[in-house]
Amino acid sequence: MRARTSRPWVARGTRGARAGRAAVAAAVVGATLLLSGCGGDGGSGATVPEGWGTLDTKSLSVGYPKDEGYAEQPAGERAKANAAVALKEEDGIRTGMVSVQLNFATGVRDAAGAAAAAGAGIGLNSTRKATEDVRLAGPADAREARRIDYDFTADGQENTPTRGTPMTGVLVAGVDTKGVPFVVRLNAVKDAVDAEDLDAFVESITVK
C-alpha cells in the first residue's frame, strides 16, 4: 500500500372500516420511513445539523458548521489533493478546516486499508486519542468506515495558527461503492469544537 501523505491541514377490496385501517397503516409506514432516514440500510442520507452547510463530491457528502463561520473554499483556491474544503478564517488565520480527499492512496480495498493510509498522513506532531469502526449513511456495501480522533500542534505555515498552537482533529476513512478510497477530516484549534460537534460531523457523512 502506498499513500500520498499530507499534513492534517491539507472534515441524513372492502370499503368503510377496511379502507380506514389501510389508510392508518400507510400513514404509519410513511412515518416510520421518515424516522429511519438516517443511515438506514435502504441507502438514505445522513442527517446534517441545522445551520450547517454540505460539501458534495463524487464519493460522498459531508456537513460542516457553516453557522460557526466555516465557508466552502472555491475550487480554484483549494489544494489539488482536496476534492472539497470548508474553512474558518479569523483575522486571516485558518482556525478550522473540513476537507475531503478522494483516491488518496493506492492498493486500498476496504475501510481498514483506507484508515491505515490516512493515519500515516496525520504527521509526527500528532497524538492519536481513539480509533473505532463506524457505519455511515449510504448503500449497504459502502457503509463501513473507520474513525480516528487525534491531537496535534500547528506548524504556523500556510496561514495556520502560530507554531505550537494545540489543535484537535477527527478523520473518517473508507471506500465508496466504486472502490474509491476516501478520507474526510475536521481540524480546528483545540476546544473550538466540542465532542458533540465532532460526533455530528461524522454522523453527517453519506457515502455514494
Q: What angle do CA 148, 153, 158 make, to 5 degrees?
A: 105
**Distance of alpha carbon 167 from the chain centroid:** 18
**Distance of alpha carbon 112 from the chain centroid:** 16
Q: Which of 100, 135, 136 is nearest to 118 (CA)?
A: 100
H/E element, 101: strand 93-102
pLDDT in tens, the chain (208 residues): 444 444 455 433 434 444 444 443 444 334 333 333 343 344 579 999 999 999 999 999 999 999 999 999 999 999 999 999 999 999 999 999 999 999 999 999 999 999 999 998 887 789 999 999 999 999 999 999 999 999 999 999 989 999 999 999 999 999 999 999 999 999 999 999 999 999 999 999 999 9
- The C-alpha cell of 190 is what? 483545540
What is d(CA 44, CA 156) in angstroms, rounded to the nearest whole number? Answer: 40
Say if residues 34 and 47 touch (Cβ distance below 8 Å): no
Q: What angle do CA 101, 102, 105 make, to 5 degrees?
A: 100
- Give this prediction's pTM: 0.79
**Three-class secondary structure of residue 11 per DSSP:** coil
What is d(CA 129, CA 47) in angstroms, rounded to the nearest whole number? Answer: 26
**Three-class secondary structure of residue 130 per DSSP:** strand
